[in-house]
A and B are shown apart, each in its own frame.
Chain A
Amino acid sequence: MVKLVGMMAVWGLLLLWQAALLWKSCRRRDVAVLAGAWLLAAGAYACLWLQPRVPSVVEGIRRLCGPAVQPILVWLKGEGI
Chain B
Amino acid sequence: MIENGKISPMQFAILVFMFSTGSAVLLLPSTLASIAGQDGWMSVLLSYVPDLVLIFLWSALAGDASGKSVVEHAEQLLGRWGGKAVGLMYAAFFLLLSALVLRNIGDFMTANILVQTPMLVVNMVFMVSIVYGAYLGLEVLARTGEILLPWVLGIVVLMLLLLTPDIHFARLLPVFPEGILPSVKGVYPLSGFPIGELVLFLFLFQFGKQPRKLRIYFAASMAFTVFFGILVALATVSVMGVDITARSTFAVFELAKEIHVGNFFERVEVLMGGVWIVTIFVKLALSFYGANLLTAQVFRLSGYRVTILPFGVLVTALSILVTRNSAEDSWLIMGPYPLLALFFGLLIPLVLLIISRLGRKTA
Contact = CB atoms under 8 A, between A and B. Distances in A.
A48 B329 CA distance: 18
- For chain A, which range describes its interface: under 10, 10 to 19, 20 to 34, or 35 or more residues? 20 to 34
Interface string B102-142: 00000000000000000000000000000000000000000
Contacts of B332: 58, 61
Interface of B: 34-35, 96, 99, 185, 188-189, 295, 299-302, 306-307, 309-311, 313-314, 317-318, 320-324, 328-329, 331-332, 334-336
A30 B299 CA distance: 8
A29 B303 CA distance: 11
Contacts of B336: 61, 65, 69
Contacts of B185: 75-76
B301 A30 contact: yes
A8 interface: no
A40 B99 CA distance: 14
Given A58-B323, A69-B335, A40 B295 contact: no
Contacts, number: 94
A34 B310 contact: yes
Contacts of A69: 335-336
Contact of B307 (A33, A44, A56): A33
A57 B313 contact: no
A72 B100 CA distance: 21
B322 A44 contact: no
A57 to B, nearest CB: 5
A44 B318 CA distance: 6
Given A48-B320, A56-B323, A57-B323, A73 B334 contact: yes
Interface string A65-80: 1000100110111000
Contacts of A62: 328, 331
B188 A29 contact: no
Given A29-B301, A33-B295, A38-B310, A72 B335 contact: yes
A19 B292 CA distance: 19
Interface of B: prevailing SS: helix
Nearest to B301: A30
Interface of A: 14, 17-18, 25, 27, 29-30, 33-34, 37-38, 40-41, 44-45, 47-48, 51, 54, 56-59, 61-62, 65, 69, 72-73, 75-77
A29 B300 contact: yes
Given A37-B311, A75-B185, A47 B317 contact: yes
Contacts of A27: 301-302
13 contacts: A18-B309, A25-B306, A30-B306, A33-B301, A37-B311, A41-B311, A48-B320, A57-B318, A57-B322, A61-B332, A65-B336, A73-B331, A73-B334
Given A30-B301, A44-B313, A44-B314, 9 more contacts: A14-B313, A18-B309, A25-B306, A33-B307, A48-B321, A58-B332, A59-B328, A62-B331, A72-B188
Given A48-B317, A76-B35, A33 B302 contact: no
Contacts of A37: 295, 307, 310-311, 314
B324 A29 contact: no
A61 B309 CA distance: 27
B328 A41 contact: no
A38 B96 CA distance: 17
Nearest to A22: B306
A59 B313 CA distance: 22
Instruction: For the complex of A and B, list the 10 residue pairs with the smallest distance between their C-beta atoms, beginning with the closest.
Output: A44-B317, A37-B310, A69-B335, A41-B314, A41-B313, A58-B328, A38-B310, A57-B322, A41-B310, A58-B323
B35 A77 contact: yes
B222 to A, nearest CB: 23
A63 to B, nearest CB: 12
A59 to B, nearest CB: 7
Contacts of A30: 301-302, 306
A76 B191 CA distance: 14
Instruction: With a 10 A CB-CB cut-off, give which of B188, B317, B332 has the most chain A CB atoms.
Output: B317
Contact of A45 (B295, B307, B317, B322): B317
